Structure 1
Amino acid sequence: MNPRIAFVAAPVLTFTYGVIRILDGLDGSRGPGLAWTTGHLAFIGALVFFAMTFHEIRRLAGRGRLATGLVAAGYIGITTLIAQFTIDLVVGFRSADHAAMDVMFDQVQSVPGVQQVVYGFGPLLFFVAQIGLVLQLAIQRRVKAWMPVLVIADVLVPFVEKDLMPLGAACLLISFLALARVSRASRPAGGRHRVDESAVPAAA
């Protein structure tokens, strides 16, 4: 798949999840139901595309040890987030109402290690990798300095207020569109990878 598609799809699907999440909560509770299921499927799709963007950013960064380590951490984070959202989907399918969901979530999260790995430390690796990879490109002067600022904004906004997730995703889309241009400029017309040690032009 063309990596430029992933740079667009990841933030767009994240934005979609954020909007659906807001709509799902208008009645005072979230899930179960169509909005819960659709939103979670959208974010799982976003995570798949994020994995593709990590792979491409590693290439742009030169495939060094730091970039490789960050991507590995990112993949672990993506895996735990997919596990988390899959649990959410299963709980939603098996619950008649929100109260039943709360009971089932308590049962799942009481399993040793699940709360710490799937809902705690694991997902943080995804955000650390996302910031670290773009910062590395900025330090290498392959992207402009404003790009990591937008990525950091996307990461931090949901921790402040989850309903602001669409705003964060919009910031991410702006930065990822610039990354898509850098990715395209780094490849010759034939589609084969250009040697990575040369300077990839920074996004305007």
Structure 2
Amino acid sequence: MTKGIVFTTAPLLVTVYAGFRVLDGLDDERGPGPAWTTGHLAFLAALILFVPVFLELRRLAGHGLFATATAVVGLVGAVCSMAQISVDIVIGALAADHEAMRRMFADVQSVPGVTPVVYTVGPVLLYLGLLIMFCQLALTRAVPVWRAVAVVLAVLVSLLGLDALPAVGLLLCTGLAPFPRRSTSPATAHS
């Protein structure tokens, strides 16, 4: 998959997940069912695609220690989010109804360490990595400022909760797709 496709597809899949989430909630309950599963599979695919996105952002930022640390933070967040979405998919597949899902989620979240790693702190690292990386790229002029503003807005809007995901997805699309092609990193381009 080319870089351009990855940078376009990852945020589009976030938007697809948001759309299925809205559809799934039309009956005032989310999951289990086809909308739950399809949406979560789309989000899982988006998270997988954020791996090459972060690697390319690191390259654009010049491979330095700060860029590497920021990429690692984002990748850890992506992995934690993948764990969360995977749990959601499995519970959605196993549960007969919403009440069964609620009990299964309570069981999973009662395991020590799961809630902060998989549900609260861990997934936030994905957004933190994107925010820091795009600010760095804008400061070094590796990307236009408007792209960084769109990503920063996406991160800020994500703080409003899962109901804000349609806006988050569209803002990420604005910031990431189509991503500029650059053959050299900023560090080598200015030497």
Give TM class, smaller chain: over 0.9
Q: 1:172 maps to what in 2? A: 172
CA-CA distance at 1:195 after TM superposition: 7.9
In structure 2, give the amino acid aligned to 1:83: A
Structure 1 pair 136/102, CA: closer, same or farther in 2 (3 Å)?
same
Structure 1 pair 161/79, CA: closer, same or farther in 2 (3 Å)?
closer
Question: With structure 1 as the length reference, what TM-score do the two structures score?
Answer: 0.88
For the 8 Å contact 2:77–2:122, the answer to whether it is kept is yes
What percent identity do the matched residue pairs reach? 43
Question: With structure 2 as the length reference, what TM-score do the two structures score?
Answer: 0.94
CA-CA distance at 1:4 after TM superposition: 1.1
CA-CA distance at 1:177 after TM superposition: 2.2
Q: 2:104 maps to what in 1? A: 104
Q: 1:163 maps to what in 2? A: 163
CA-CA distance at 1:194 after TM superposition: 6.5
RMSD: 1.5
Q: 2:188 maps to what in 1? A: 197
In structure 2, give the amino acid aligned to 1:126: L
Q: 2:62 maps to what in 1? A: 62
For the 8 Å contact 2:61–2:186, the answer to whether it is kept is no
Q: SS of the counterpart of 1:197? A: helix
CA deviation vs aligned residue, 1:121-144 (integer Å, no higher than 9, x gap)? 111111110111111101101222
CA deviation vs aligned residue, 1:90-145 (integer Å, no higher than 9, x gap)? 11111110011001100110001001111121111111101111111011012222
For the 8 Å contact 2:59–2:185, the answer to whether it is kept is no
Q: 2:145 maps to what in 1? A: 145
1:9-158 correspondence runs (5 A)? 9-158=9-158
Structure 1 pair 198/163, CA: closer, same or farther in 2 (3 Å)?
same
Unaligned runs of 5+ in 2: none
Unaligned runs of 5+ in 1: 188-192, 200-204
My pick for the range that moved more, 19-28 or 119-128, is 119-128
Instruction: Find the aligned partners of 2:16 and 2:73 in 1 and give their Cα distance.
Output: 25
For the 8 Å contact 1:59–1:196, the answer to whether it is kept is no
For the 8 Å contact 1:32–1:98, the answer to whether it is kept is yes
Q: SS of the counterpart of 2:27? A: coil
CA deviation vs aligned residue, 1:12-55 (integer Å, no higher than 9, x gap)? 00000001000100000000000000000000000111111110
In structure 1, give the amino acid aligned to 2:77: G
For the 8 Å contact 2:60–2:185, the answer to whether it is kept is no
My pick for the range that moved more, 163-172 or 33-42, is 163-172
